[in-house]
Chain A
Amino acid sequence: MAMPAADPTLGERLKQVRAESAQPLTKDDVASIIGEVVGTMGGDVSMLDLKLYTELEGLARYIQTARTEIAAIRPDKISQDYIMAATDELDAVVGATEEATGRILDAAEGLLNVADEKIEGPAKDEVTELAMSIFEASNFQDITGQRITKVVKTLKHIEAKIEALVHVLGEEVERARQNQVQEERKPARTTDEDLLNGPQLPGGACNQDEIDRLLASFD
């Protein structure tokens, strides 16, 4: 059942158009009909409103494009691969520095023992003073550790923000991930640059014994 037109004048006009449907509409006819349609909206939607809607639609398209582009950067990968790796590397720096400082302090304490038990005269004072200098210089480890802890906290803050972004962009990120997985399935040659990974985290690569065994396996 046909719905009655909101405006009787428009209804009449539509009947007239249907009657004339065998003939093509001119540009003026189309403009006239559109004008009448707008007129039937009873002042609820003005030309200004329509312009606003058009601009809002453009804005929505812009936001959607931005979401797709952000998702293509793969924020989930930044969080999982890069930030977590950076945090682990920094933890390894703190651990290695602490261990090295411990060994330096062992040596300095050994020097003091030697100075106390086996050396006499000015040489004893000299060795003691040198050992004191080592203790003073070893302060750096505490400061370095605290600075790195601050950096790790900052990275964790960024990670939380990125995770929130990934949550908001859920579908787009998943699409970008699938696209990238398909790209990565294509076989790629290992380049010299791929082999430059720097020091590895403990357990993340071969130790000397494993390297020796690997080399021996080629013989």
Chain B
Amino acid sequence: MAVDMSMPILIVDDYKTMLRIIRNLLKQLGFENVEDATDGSSALQKLRERQFGLVISDWNMEPMTGLQLLREVRADAKLAAVPFIMITAESKTENVVAAKEAGVNNYIVKPFNAATLKTKLTSVLGNF
């Protein structure tokens, strides 16, 4: 099934610079419908207000981290099926294992490039 390039994507990061970078990279990959949030709590609120096709989230944020956001999403029956990609500088094995156990679909380590982002998006959403 073809990927819906107009699906809304929620990007979450407490660094506004990072949000700009991800938004521009997604735009160049063909995804223009991008919303953002600067922490887990506001992201969760947006997810409950509107249907998103994908969440791309940082880990290290306050007051709610990306891992907590992921757990909340997976625990909510209405949101549980939303694909979730973690983009983070946390690269220890135990981090990846914790994210996987919490139900992450893929994991990108910062710094990353457009090719890595495209590969991970394809892995989660299918070819586009």
Interface positions of A (Cβ within 8 A of B): 98, 101-102, 105, 108-109, 112, 128, 131-132, 135-136, 138-143, 145-146
Contact = CB atoms under 8 A, between A and B. Distances in A.
Contacts of B18: 139, 142
A105 B111 contact: no
Given A128-B28, A142-B89, A135 B21 contact: yes
Contacts of B17: 98, 101-102, 105, 138, 141-142
Q: Which of A98, A109, A112, A136 has the most CB of B within 10 A?
A: A136
Interface in B77-127: 89, 110-114
A134 to B, nearest CB: 9
Q: Which of B28, B60, B112 has the most CB of A within 10 A?
A: B28
Nearest to B60: A146
A94 to B, nearest CB: 10
Contacts of B25: 132, 135-136
A93 B16 CA distance: 17
A21 B68 CA distance: 89
B111 A139 contact: yes
A41 B93 CA distance: 68
A76 B20 CA distance: 43
Contacts of B112: 136, 139
Contacts of A105: 17, 20-21, 24
B128 interface: no
B114 A136 contact: yes
Interface of B: 13, 15, 17-18, 20-21, 24-25, 28, 60, 89, 110-114
A146 B13 CA distance: 13
Q: Which of B13, B21, B28, B114 has the most CB of A within 10 A?
A: B21
Nearest to B27: A112
Given A112-B24, A132-B24, A143-B111, 19 more contacts: A105-B20, A105-B21, A108-B24, A128-B28, A131-B24, A135-B24, A135-B114, A136-B25, A138-B17, A139-B18, A139-B110, A141-B15, A141-B17, A142-B15, A142-B110, A142-B111, A145-B15, A146-B60, A146-B89
Nearest to B111: A139
Given A138-B17, A142-B17, A146-B60, A109 B111 contact: no
Contacts of A112: 24, 28
A124 B32 CA distance: 19
B106 to A, nearest CB: 17
3 nearest CB pairs, A to B: A139-B111, A136-B113, A142-B18
Nearest to A104: B17
Contacts of A138: 17, 21
Contacts of B111: 136, 139-140, 142-143
B110 to A, nearest CB: 6
A138 B21 CA distance: 8
B17 to A, nearest CB: 5
Contacts of A101: 17
A95 B39 CA distance: 20
B13 to A, nearest CB: 8
14 contacts: A98-B17, A109-B24, A112-B28, A128-B28, A132-B28, A132-B114, A136-B111, A136-B114, A139-B21, A141-B15, A142-B13, A142-B18, A145-B15, A146-B60
